[in-house]
Every structure is written in structure tokens, then in C-alpha cells.
Amino acid sequence: MHVVITGANRGIGACLAEGYGARGDRVTGTARDGSCQISLDVTDPAAQAAMARALHSQPVDLLICNAGVYLDKGQSLEDGYAPDLWDQSFAANVKGVFLTIQSLLPNLRQAEAGKIAIISSQMGSDTRAPGGSFIYRASKAAALNLGRNLASDLKREEIAVGIYHPGWVRTDMGTDAAEISTQEAATGLLARFDELSLETTGRFLTWDGRDHAY
């Protein structure tokens, strides 16, 4: 199986890459800093085109859209949330997901049963609104909506799309106070991605297999 993972240089992405590699799957990781097989800024159309050329005619069985940013942590409503933070966050967390899927759609179509996994967050759920982190929450809600609509359109092509909350994970983004390790998150997500099918396409699931309210 050929797995492409964006943001595979650290955190959950790196653990997922390690997990698939240990299973004997072929892994193509991307990273903005050039530390993985493919150098990719997911917000850059030129970089996306270069990735598509590099993977030309290679089937992709599973695309994991993991790359993302959380730039507004701790911002104040009175004087925070600068316009450029909105632009950067939506570019990475929403546009970047769409461009990556669009770029590799020919490769997913070449696979016997292509699958797409989008890492969103429970912070994007309408049912969780405790306030704060307005930009991140809005961008992850948009990623969830994007995944749901892609699932509808791609089902006719027999490409399944899943959207996932990875848990509150001990990473640079999640901080050391988080509930689970990157290894726990990656192990759970790997199992969820294995289960993804046309019968379950469009669902929003937690890392440990529970349906999450939209």
C-alpha cells in the first residue's frame, strides 16, 4: 500500500509514517522544511504541482492530510486575532487540504480503492463551543465541512473520505498537558484509516473509534 502523509516530519505525522513503515507499507512523507521525501508547503500551488509531477502515475492508496497550524493559541479577543493569522490558518488548514487532494486526485483514482483521511479536530465541532481560539476552531470546522462534501462527490468514484479528531495529543501544538501521546494517537488513527470504506465515508470519528458530533 502506498501512503502519502502531509506534515510527516514531526508529531502525529511522523508517528503515522513510522507505523506504516513498520507494517511494510510504502510511505511518502511531505514537509515544508524539506526533511521528508517531498518538500511541500501545502498552501503553495507551485509546490503542489511539483509534488504531482514527482508522483506522476504512482497510485496512492491512502492520502493523509495531516499538515496544519494553530497560530491563535492564547490570543485576546480585545487586541488579538490579527488578519494575517486568519489568512495563514485558513491557507494551511483548509486551502492546503483541498489543494493536496486536488493535486493527488489522479493518483487516488489509479488506486484500487483510494482513501483520504483529513485530520480535523473536535475544536471544529458545532457541539463544542467553549470560546477562544476562534481562528483555529473556524478553520477546523471548515476542514470538517470540506471533508463531508468531498465524501459526497468522491463516493461515485469509489474514493472514501474520513474526517478525524486525533485526540488532545502531547505535541508542540497540544502541549505537554495533553491527554495522550503521539504514539497512542497514531495507533488509534491507523486503525481508523484501515476501517475507512465507502460504507463509512463522510463520518467524523475520534482517534479511538467513537462517532463525534458535527
In a domain, 214, yes or no: no
| Distance, CA of 165 to CA of 189 (rounded, Å) | 9
pLDDT in tens, 58-94: 999 999 999 999 999 999 999 999 999 999 999 999 9
pLDDT in tens, 97-156: 999 999 999 999 999 999 999 999 988 787 777 788 999 999 999 999 999 999 999 999
In a domain, 212, yes or no: no
In a domain, 120, yes or no: yes
Number of domains in the chain: 1
Which residue, among 45, 52, 89, has the nearest Cα to 70 in the 3D structure?
Answer: 89
Give the CATH number, domain containing residue 71.
3.40.50.720
**Single-letter code of the amino acid located at 127:** T
In a domain, 170, yes or no: yes
In a domain, 213, yes or no: no
pLDDT in tens, 170-213: 555 545 555 778 888 899 999 999 999 999 999 999 988 898 87
Query: Which cell numbers in the block locate residue 199?
Result: 460504507
In a domain, 39, yes or no: yes
In a domain, 171, yes or no: yes
In a domain, 90, yes or no: yes
Q: Any residues with CB less than 8 A from the CB of 132 and at least 6 apart, and which?
A: 75
Which residue, among 162, 133, 139, has the nearest Cα to 65 in the 3D structure?
Answer: 162
Enclosing domain of residue 166:
2-206
Q: Does 14 score more than 70 pLDDT?
A: yes
pLDDT in tens, 37-57: 999 999 999 999 999 999 999
pLDDT at residue 128, rounded to an integer: 73
| Distance, CA of 126 to CA of 130 (rounded, Å) | 10
| Cβ contact 130:80 at 8 Å | no
pLDDT at residue 76, rounded to an integer: 93
Mean pLDDT score of the chain: 93
